[in-house]
Amino acid sequence: MVSPAIALAFLPFLITLLIRYRHYLVLLYRAVLLGWLQDRLTGVPREQRAFQYVLTHAIPGDPQHILHTFDQWSYHCEHLSCVGPLKGKIVEKLLCERAPRTVLELGTYCGYGTVLMAAALQPGARLYTVEPNPQHASVAEKVIRLAGFDEQTVELIVGHSEEVIPQLREQHGLQSVDFVFMDHWKRCYLRDLKLLEENGLLADRATVLADNVVFPGAPHFLQYAKTCGKYRCRVHRASLEYCRAIPDGIAELCYAGAR
Ligand SMILES: C[S@@+](CC[C@H](N)C(=O)[O-])C[C@H]1O[C@@H](n2cnc3c(N)ncnc32)[C@H](O)[C@@H]1O
Ligand SMILES: [Mg+2]
């Protein structure tokens, strides 16, 4: 048993911790606990709940309105780990500047980032997006088609990035990629960057963006990008999707070619 005197001595320390990390606690509640509870209560997975909301509130064929409807859901109902509007603007701006012919997204989730990038593509450009979770992929497929993008513009590949990347050339006819958006599990960023290099898939001066390099963070990936000599690297500071109080950022790598 902890004596009341010891408990009292720890109280100020505990209160300081709670105050300092309150935004992370709110995130834990909104992103994990609330979703888990709603999953149990409704028997419907959260991505499906979000899609039902989008289906009933968004204008079909209007990508911006579909993104805005996802944002409404995420701000006011349940947290989704889409790239979100703030970091989305960074992705959109860089994509418009580079005008890539081929884009690869790792981690489709509900298709938010896919729709955001597909809407900014030049005519004739193509986007490949990779998602291993069949339930997420099924929601994303519906969202992408609801936004009005056909299979010529957006190809959704169901599989793990580590299996899909080595097959991109032979099975999907992708010779090289001009623009990559990494937004899957952070521990896979470095492995998949090296896989793209080894398979000769990065075009000269290709842009590689990596989300969440500040929170939750991808230190090994950043360390490699900054020190291997193959990339110019900078981090665009922003905040975590749908949580303005938690700092986050997107890394932008410019590939200088194989050495
Ligand atoms: C943060 S979400 C992606 C958000 C999406 N890019 C957006 O902006 O809407 C991460 C997704 O990566 C997927 N994922 C996990 N491991 C993966 C892998 N090895 N390859 C591709 N996707 C993966 C997860 O299933 C999840 O749907
Ligand atoms: Mg992300």
Which of these, 253, 221, 51, lies nearest to 143 by C-alpha position? 51
Query: Ligand 1: which of 79, 184, 212 to mutate, judged by most atoms within 8 Å of the beta carbon?
Result: 184
139 and 190 inside one domain: yes
Residue where a domain stops, chosen among 47, 76, 105: 76
57 and 126 inside one domain: no
> Which pTM value belongs to this model?
0.94
- Ligand 1 atom 13, closest CA: 107
Predicted confidence (pLDDT) per residue in 99-139, tens digit: 999 999 999 999 999 999 999 999 999 999 999 999 999 99
102 and 125 inside one domain: yes
**Which ligand is in closest contact with the Cα of 181?**
1
Which atom of ligand 1 is nearest the CA belonging to 133? 25
- pLDDT of 14 reads 86
Q: Please report, to the nearest 10 degrees, the dihedral formed by the alpha carbons of residues 135, 189, 183, 240 taken in order.
A: 130
Work out how many domains the chain is built from and give that number. 2
Question: In the predicted model, what is the mean pLDDT of residues 82-86?
Answer: 98
151 and 206 inside one domain: yes
17 and 88 inside one domain: no
Predicted confidence (pLDDT) per residue in 1-46, tens digit: 678 888 888 888 888 888 888 888 988 888 889 989 999 999 999 9
Rg (CA), the chain: 20
190 and 71 inside one domain: no
The CATH number of the domain holding residue 106 is 3.40.50.150
49 and 134 inside one domain: no
Range of the domain at 33: 4-76
Q: By the 8 A CB rule, do 188 and 221 touch?
A: no
**Range scoring the smallest mean pLDDT among 13-17, 48-52, 76-80, 160-164:** 13-17
Taking 90 as the threshold, does the pLDDT of residue 147 lie above it?
yes
Q: Is 257 left (phi over 0), alpha (psi -120 to 50) or beta?
A: left
Whether the ipTM is more than 0.90: the answer is yes
Taking 90 as the threshold, does the pLDDT of residue 259 lie above it?
no
- pLDDT of 26 reads 87
The dihedrals phi and psi of 129, each to the nearest 5 degrees, come to -130, 140
CA contacts within 13 A on the Cβ side of 108: 33
Predicted confidence (pLDDT) per residue in 198-248, tens digit: 999 999 999 999 999 999 999 999 999 999 999 999 999 999 999 999 999
Which residues have a Cβ under 8 Å from the Cβ of 201 and sit 6 or more positions away?
Answer: 165, 168, 169, 174, 176, 177
165 and 51 inside one domain: no
How confident is residue 69, by pLDDT bands cut at 50, 70 and 90?
very high
93 and 163 inside one domain: yes
The dihedrals phi and psi of 205, each to the nearest 5 degrees, come to 65, 25
100 and 182 inside one domain: yes
- pLDDT of 1 reads 64
Residue where a domain stops, chosen among 42, 76, 110: 76
Nearest 5°: the CA angle 169, 114, 216 is 100
Q: By the 8 A CB rule, do 55 and 146 touch?
A: yes
Mean of the per-residue pLDDT values of the chain: 95
Active site residues: 183, 186, 211-212, 241
Strands (E), the chain: 102-106, 126-131, 154-158, 177-182, 202-210, 231-240, 243-255
Q: In terms of DSSP bridges, do strands 202-210 and 231-240 run parallel, antiparallel, or are they unpaired? A: unpaired
- Ligand 1 atom 10, closest CA: 184
Pocket, ligand 1, Cβ cutoff 6 A: 81-83, 105-107, 109-110, 112-113, 130-133, 136, 160-162, 183-185, 188
- pLDDT of 89 reads 98
Question: In the predicted model, what is the mean pLDDT of residues 54-73?
Answer: 98
Residue where a domain stops, chosen among 76, 103, 134: 76
Measured in whole angstroms, how far is the alpha carbon of residue 53 from the centre of its chain? Answer: 20
Which of these, 60, 58, 67, 57, lies nearest to 88 by C-alpha position? 67
88 and 213 inside one domain: yes
Predicted confidence (pLDDT) per residue in 91-107, tens digit: 999 999 999 999 999 99
d(CA 138, CA 142): 7
Q: By the 8 A CB rule, do 193 and 225 touch?
A: yes
41 and 115 inside one domain: no
